[in-house]
Amino acid sequence: MRTVRDPRGTTWICLELPEVPAEQRGAAAALPADSVAIECNSGAERVIALVAPGWDDVMDDATLSNTIAAFMQ
């Protein structure tokens, strides 16, 4: 689990999901086989992002915030 504050000042709580959700499997097929899904929730918004394993240790706050923003679109 990680928390991050985005440039708008919104705090996100991110958790790794046990599996890639069905609606994300098509996108996951184009990524490396070991990609994992994370759910980030701000209380008002929810984002499911596909990231590399170990994301919670290797991603800095800016990278995690940018990843959330990219998957919001």
The per-residue pLDDT for range 23-65, each reduced to its tens digit, is 888 888 777 778 999 999 999 999 999 999 999 999 999 999 9
- Asked if residues 61 and 5 have their Cβ atoms less than 8 Å apart, the reply is yes
66, two tokens:
């940018």
pLDDT digits (tens, 9 = 90+) for 5-31: 999 999 999 999 999 898 888 888 777
CA distances from 38 to 16, 26, 73 (A): 4, 16, 16
Its pTM stands at 0.87
Q: Which domain holds residue 48?
A: 2-72
* Number of domains, the chain: 1
Kindly state the tokens that stand for 55.
């994301």
HSE-CB for 34 with a 13 A CA cutoff: 4
Closest by CA to 70, choosing from 49, 42, 39, is 49
